[in-house]
Structure 1
Amino acid sequence: MSEQTIQNDLFSNSVTILDKYECLNLGATTIGDLIVGKRIVCDKVKTAVKNKGKKPDVLIVDSSKKVVAYIEFKKPDEFDTYKKIQAAIKQEIDVARELGVKIFVATDGSKFVWINALTGLPILDEQGNKIIATIKPKTEEREIAKLIGRLEIDLSDTNNQLQLIKYSDPTNLAKKIGGLLKNIKFTTPKDSLYTFVELFLFKYLSDINILGTTENFDYIWNLYGEDGRTEAEVLYRYIHEPRERISKLFPEAPDKTSVINGFVFHAEKDADGNYISNNADATTFHEVIKLFKEYENIEGKFIDINRDFKSKLFETFTKQEKTKENAGKYFTPLKIVKGMVDMVDIKEGDEICDPACGVGKFLLEAALKIDEPFTFKNGHVVKKINLYGYEKEMDEKGSTSGYDLTTILAKANTMIYFSSLFKDNNTLTNIKTISQELLNETYYSSKTILGTLERIDGKQYDVILANPPYYQSALISKTAKDTGFYTEKGLGVEGLFLEWIIKSLKPNGVANVVLPDGIFTNVGNKRLHDFIITNCYIEGILSLPINTFFNTPKKTYIMTLRKKRDVSKKQNYPVFAYYCTSIGETLDVYRFDSDDNDFQTAVNKYNLFRSCKDKNQIEEYLKPIFEDDLKLKLFSIDSFQPHSAWDIEKRWTDEEKVKMGVKKADVIMNLDEFSEYLTEIVDDINNYGEAIKCLNS
């Protein structure tokens, strides 16, 4: 087989690799022709006349036409000994160097030898083994793009080896900055979180080379070392240079939210051109930037971000609020979020909604159940699933921003969750497109009194995950009634949300929703109960412990509903019920992690239950798992009538609650025992009285 035939089998004429690279299968085309035709860019070759006539077999170029890999093909009989392989490498590696290429590959189509063109030595993987990866862009484009991208970063004239990927986890940095802002600026945890997120994005965009040399983190940091620069001037320059650039990269949506609205630091010029900043803003900003720099000096740059940090960032700041007075408005513990997401199936093509999305954790955790839910191809975001997060702009007590911080944080949170999407497509045009198509087309903020509830527009979803607000508002109830969308007379804002959710589900769609006890116990919800039974299958109800949510010292539940395809069909299988007493963290204001987590047990057993082919006939191997757990019950659907109470914990007997440890056993005494008990109490009181007299004397 000829060299050209082997090349054509692998590359055809030219093949794109994930819109990041293009393989040029060149044949008789010279380097000079490629430069004149602007198919490659390389200033060095202009002075290297001897190489302009060279005819490379295959070049891989990036989107800027820079050559990133030089591939030399040989026939198998010219590549079957060590000596022949070395000759093939020597023949063209100088040309690769002249092109400024780091990656040189010699191959016969089946065997691939990877060489660092800067050193002439084999390229090694993280463990020190020679890389022998095949280059088949027609079938293995993702793997090739990832490898080339890493080698471009790691290879140098002193390094031939792939570096181990180090995932940054700046949780402690976030805590330090949160404490600093609170102590000096007295900012709310939410404003502190927003400030950290903005500066984290500033640092991250700098580290992945999105921001230019006069806009990036190092530029701002180095200004502090220049004579005559005041802290106020550096802050002013950040606000009017890097921050302006970021605002253009992440344009506002129609609801006026971006990732760069609102800020707790301010600086300006006075009439004489002097830079001024009040309220210790400039000094505090300097201290925050210093903390980021100290982190970089120890841990390195923000290139790959630890997944746990992405998930826990919001909690890091919320837990700093001692009273948690407002936390529950936008805070669902991550363990609850993850558990609720685990209880539903997420499939490619699904439309997933959270009608009260807060900072987007339900949507983001759901997206993580899909392998690479978002990619970038042909200049656009390709979505395996579609996310829809709706939020009502709230007036936050103590907030200094004047913006809908919740939606801003949701967008910033999404960027952090899918940071690799931005990192791997790090041109200004691509970032702006991703911002529009992923961030702005996912989250929607409303300024109306009803917010999400303003309309039910016929849009239907496969999955709805939500922890909607629950409170009474006569104004909202009347305004909702006037829309004509709400006919089931559910009590409270939660009743309106539940009706919205059911009406917005596709047939066979699933909703997993946190609800307060009023939905289950209030006789005024009889009509809403009937609406649920008529339109949905009740798959499960989990009773959560009091104080699961920061500002909710009352009973809450998780209800799982599946919308019927045919409302004439009656549910013919039991409802899974679980009496949860712990959620994996303490239920006080500190929310320390705890090994006690029967909520996760409930999630695991619910998933076993829903996997049963016949839910009326549990498989033998599962029976001990179900029957030996006092906190688990399967209730007949007939026990859920419109007029009945649905608060499931009342269906456990006192004896069962004692065994479960949620109730103390009653102590019963006969008259003699009670008399003796009273005598002991009187004696104790007398003894305390004598002790007090002694102290007084």
Structure 2
Amino acid sequence: MSEELLQRDLIKNPDKIGTWNFYNIGSTTVKTLKSANIIRNIDYGKDIDQKKIDALITKEKDIIAIIEYKSPRNFNTEYKKNKAINQEINVAKQLNTKLMIATDTKETLWINVLTGNTIKDENGKDFKYLFDYKDTKLFDVINNIIHSINSNNDRILPKKLIDPTDLSKQIWQDVWSVSGATPENCLYTFVELFIFKYLSDLNILKGDFNFYELLKKYSKNEENYVLQHYADIIRPKIKELFPAGIDKTTIINGTIFVSKEQKAIDGYGTVFRKVLEKFNNYGKLEYIDYDFKSKLFESFLKESISKKNWGQYFTPIKVVRAINEMAYSELREGIVICDPACGVGKFPLEFIKENIRKFFFIKDNKIECKIKIVGFDKGFDKDEQKTIILAKANMLIYFCDIIKENPEYTKEFANLFNETFTLKTNSILGTLSEPIENMYDLILTNPPYVTSGSSNLKEEILKDINLKNYFKINSLGVEGLFMEWIVRALKPSGKAFVILPDGIFNRKYDKNLRKFILDNCYIDAIISLPIKTFFTTPKKTYILAITKKNNLSDTQISPVFTYLCSEIGESRDINRFDIEQDDLKKAVKLFNLFKGNKEYFSEINLDNRCKIQDISRFIDNIETQWIIEKDWTETEKAELGIIEKNKPISIFDFSNTINMIVDNVKEHQQLIDMYSLTETCEMTEKYIGGETGLFFVEKGNSKYTKKYMNKNKGVFPVYSSKTTDEGIIDYINTYDYDCECLTWTTDGTYVGTVFIRNGKFSMTTHCGALFLKDEFKNKISIKYLYAILNNILPLHKVGEGSNKRLGKELIEKIKIKIPIDNNGNYDMIKQEEIAEKYLKIEEIKKNIISELNIINNISVDIGLK
């Protein structure tokens, strides 16, 4: 045995180039390398056994390349370089390697042993790349070379990436024609058979389990027999190679061709054969375009009649990549990345795809992970489980190069997939069922905002004291629950990039959620996405970027990056063609510049779509809205193309708009359901006026005629039976009252409408005022009285048509109910609760009317030319 091999422990612990072994030797003969089982123990030819090689790269005893080291003085002319090549090329041929490398450590020659010529780059020029076995990119460089060169080619070929989207459409038609299955289920069937062919092309499925061996069986067997063989033999083998995780999912699921009992379904053998033959005719699937999954979903979405739940996890790849680019500076060793509503896993997989080899590699017979990515999705319903299966299949494609080089580690890769993507099956809450805090460095997500059944989630939360204490904000909609989870789950200084619908930014009910975000996080950016960014909904959405505070007492002083996008680089119709205008790409570039110079960025910003806002803009508007479009004038928005002309929309878009409106109305229904659960309480009754009543009641003054008001113009309001403009009919230079009270309209179309007044005012005879007596102040809430009276006064209208009147004498005799506690005292807490409920119901009514009015402003293109 060679002393060199023993002294340097090269037999057991060679150096590594990727997954290959690297032996930098020089004093060891080929014979010794054979006896040490470093290379195959075969006859390589005459006189070769005593030959000494400077260095070699091996994979399982096969020689990938031999390396000839020369001193600079023996490598400084063309003659000397050619001599170095000729000296060793015959040895390389006899050792059955395709690649020879000659270097003086300053310059490297790459030789195709099969032709004796220097290797060319993709442009046909001599390949210039310095050989350094410690170079982390060297593995990919050599791997690409040996897959490109042959006896007829010296040129490095670009990897031909396969995009099987067209194939998937053909197969969808075949499967749908015999099964009538939904496009979603056709998709899952295609993906399973794609994985079968893919693993066969990677030579992971071998022998009787291989795709091509299955095809051969048609020559001697019936079609149903071949399908049953797939069900009995091949599917279990795939699950053996890639075992299921604790959620009982793996990279494949049941197909349309195979029943739950793992039996071939009668009558499907013919179409199964047809599908396999189309896969076979398509060619090998070794190098897959990462985008094909996203394109695949989009293709099936276009075919889908019912788009149930798809909007929850389909995020356009351009949006995914934009968000990942915004977050890319956070990528580092040791980071934990999460998508709590991962769908098919695109956010975390896209985020790491350029660095997979850097952060994941085989070491000591296991996969070493330098970062951690996790994704969760709900799987309480059986149909929901398919997205996690697709996420694991997706991850297999992203990790294909490492898997191809390490086919013996399929179980370890399966464990990685299972640890990365988890189906939450313990509760209808899914991810929300675990109250996680301070765990993740980075969250990238598009949480669901389909509101059907969201009230069920809140009811489930109320059953668990830990979840009830965790979800304290009581925000509206599923996205509100996810936003609260995201903020709590972030580590201090952790960052989140979240796609959210406009409701969180403009619903008055969600003011507590906005305050919660500001209290716990710094707002880094809000980017407005155009309507119809998402394929299945015209709902308005935004990208919210936040950083969690290290200390709740910290106050944000840095400004906020805001940007309005009109286009995202693809048409926002059913076709989704690439287009030139891509405002989102510009937004990302500017945001990354902004991060490095927040305080002074506005001074160099020349993009009219971008405004750098002081944080006070959001602090001051917690109660109302964070809609950033309001910070641009109508003229500015028109110039930027933000305001679109009222042009007809397609029937498809009209259908999606109706779905959006239905979802929004269901949000409001959820709130109403919550209010209906309010506990009852004891009540007492009091008259509105009179000696024992709550109020002093006064009528308006008849002197406030139109003529009088025209002569006495001023700044103090005069109220009448008018209900628009807060009931103000005019402004005069005097006033009758200066206090907080209630007024009501005594006649008119909206007789009995009540307002809260606070300050200086007067009123006409079409209006009356209610002044709460001192003995009831601080005992009875003016907001409560406002709410109750607005509910009951319209019921006491007298007369018909223009004779309806609710005068002082009538209103004083009306009784109202007031909550009392167990001791018979007025219950202020319950009063405030009821008043809040009334205000919310009124807000809901206005919002529903606003939603329905959208339809009045839509013109539908019915296809007439």
Query: TM-score band, normalised by the shorter chain?
Result: 0.7 to 0.9
The residue aligned with 2:288 is 305
The residue aligned with 2:372 is 386
How far apart are the structure 1 equivalents of 2:633 and 2:78? Answer: 80
Q: Which one of the candidate residues 391, 394, 419 is aligned to 1:441?
A: 419
Does structure 1 conserve the Cα–Cα contact (< 8 Å) formed by 2:185 and 2:256?
A: yes
The residue aligned with 1:20 is 19
How far apart are the structure 2 equivalents of 1:93 and 1:140? Answer: 25
Instruction: Give 1:468 shift.
Output: 1.3
Does structure 1 conserve the Cα–Cα contact (< 8 Å) formed by 2:227 and 2:264?
A: no
The residue aligned with 1:645 is 625
The aligned runs of 1:269-668 (5 Å cut-off) are 277-278=265-266, 280-296=267-283, 301-309=284-292, 311-344=294-327, 345-349=329-333, 350-368=335-353, 370=355, 372-378=357-363, 379-393=365-379, 395=381, 404-423=385-404, 425-429=405-409, 431-437=410-416, 439-447=417-425, 448-470=427-449, 471=451, 473-481=454-462, 482=464, 483=467, 484-595=469-580, 597-614=582-599, 617-622=600-605, 624-625=606-607, 628-629=608-609, 632=611, 634=613, 636-640=615-619, 641-650=621-630, 660=641, 662=643
Letter in 2 for 1:217: F
Does structure 2 conserve the Cα–Cα contact (< 8 Å) formed by 1:106 and 1:114?
A: yes
- Say if 1:245 and 1:428 are closer, same or farther in 2 by CA, change over 3 A: farther
Gaps of 5+ in 2: 647-865
The residue aligned with 1:687 is none
Letter in 2 for 1:428: E
- Say if 1:495 and 1:31 are closer, same or farther in 2 by CA, change over 3 A: same
1:330-369, CA deviations, whole angstroms, 9 ceiling, x for partnerless residues? 2122232223323333321332111111111111222246
SS in structure 1 opposite 2:503? Answer: helix
SS in structure 1 opposite 2:474? Answer: coil
Residue 248 (structure 2) pairs with residue 256 (structure 1): yes
Does structure 2 conserve the Cα–Cα contact (< 8 Å) formed by 1:456 and 1:485?
A: yes
Larger radius of gyration: 2
1:578-608, CA deviations, whole angstroms, 9 ceiling, x for partnerless residues? 4444444444555454445544444444444
- Say if 1:664 and 1:658 are closer, same or farther in 2 by CA, change over 3 A: farther
How far apart are the structure 1 equivalents of 2:394 and 2:320? Answer: 15
The residue aligned with 1:688 is none
Letter in 2 for 1:243: R
How far apart are the structure 2 equivalents of 1:285 and 1:58? Answer: 54
SS in structure 2 opposite 1:191? Answer: helix
Letter in 2 for 1:247: K
Instruction: Give 1:41 shift.
Output: 1.7
- Say if 1:620 and 1:657 are closer, same or farther in 2 by CA, change over 3 A: closer
Instruction: Give 1:446 shift.
Output: 0.7
Letter in 2 for 1:426: N
How far apart are the structure 1 equivalents of 2:494 and 2:104? Answer: 53
Instruction: Give 1:58 shift.
Output: 3.6
The residue aligned with 1:171 is 165
- Say if 1:159 and 1:541 are closer, same or farther in 2 by CA, change over 3 A: closer
Q: Which one of the candidate residues 97, 102, 115 is aligned to 1:101?
A: 97
SS in structure 1 opposite 2:330? Answer: coil
Q: Which one of the candidate residues 23, 40, 65 is aligned to 1:69?
A: 65
How far apart are the structure 2 equivalents of 1:100 and 1:516? Answer: 61
- Say if 1:651 and 1:357 are closer, same or farther in 2 by CA, change over 3 A: same
- Say if 1:80 and 1:352 are closer, same or farther in 2 by CA, change over 3 A: closer
Instruction: Give 1:87 shift.
Output: 6.6
Judge which range, 601-610 or 516-525, deviates more: 601-610
Does structure 2 conserve the Cα–Cα contact (< 8 Å) formed by 1:544 and 1:581?
A: yes
Does structure 2 conserve the Cα–Cα contact (< 8 Å) formed by 1:72 and 1:107?
A: yes
Does structure 2 conserve the Cα–Cα contact (< 8 Å) formed by 1:21 and 1:62?
A: yes
Gaps of 5+ in 1: 666-697
How far apart are the structure 1 equivalents of 2:559 and 2:74? Answer: 71
Letter in 2 for 1:218: Y
Residue 225 (structure 2) pairs with residue 244 (structure 1): no
Instruction: Give 1:509 shift.
Output: 1.8
How far apart are the structure 2 equivalents of 1:633 and 1:233? Answer: 67
Does structure 1 conserve the Cα–Cα contact (< 8 Å) formed by 2:437 and 2:491?
A: no
1:10-65, CA deviations, whole angstroms, 9 ceiling, x for partnerless residues? x99985223522233455544333333323224345xx5x5474142245353412
1:54-79, CA deviations, whole angstroms, 9 ceiling, x for partnerless residues? 14224535341223334455677777
Does structure 2 conserve the Cα–Cα contact (< 8 Å) formed by 1:123 and 1:130?
A: yes
Letter in 2 for 1:493: V
Q: TM-score, length-normalised on structure 2?
A: 0.65
Does structure 1 conserve the Cα–Cα contact (< 8 Å) formed by 2:65 and 2:99?
A: yes
1:441-476, CA deviations, whole angstroms, 9 ceiling, x for partnerless residues? 211111122211112233522221222123253332
- Say if 1:16 and 1:311 are closer, same or farther in 2 by CA, change over 3 A: farther
Letter in 2 for 1:386: K
RMSD of aligned residue pairs (Cα, Å): 3.8
The residue aligned with 1:670 is none
1:233-270, CA deviations, whole angstroms, 9 ceiling, x for partnerless residues? 22233334443332222221111111122222228999
Does structure 1 conserve the Cα–Cα contact (< 8 Å) formed by 2:254 and 2:260?
A: no
Question: Which gives a bigger RCO, structure 1 or 2 (Cα 8 Å, sep 6+)?
Answer: 1
SS in structure 1 opposite 2:208? Answer: coil
Does structure 1 conserve the Cα–Cα contact (< 8 Å) formed by 2:257 and 2:264?
A: no
Judge which range, 509-518 or 653-662, deviates more: 653-662
- Say if 1:106 and 1:368 are closer, same or farther in 2 by CA, change over 3 A: closer
Instruction: Give 1:221 shift.
Output: 2.8
The residue aligned with 1:234 is 226
How far apart are the structure 1 equivalents of 2:269 and 2:156? Answer: 41
Instruction: Give 1:391 shift.
Output: 0.8
Percent identity between the aligned chains? 38
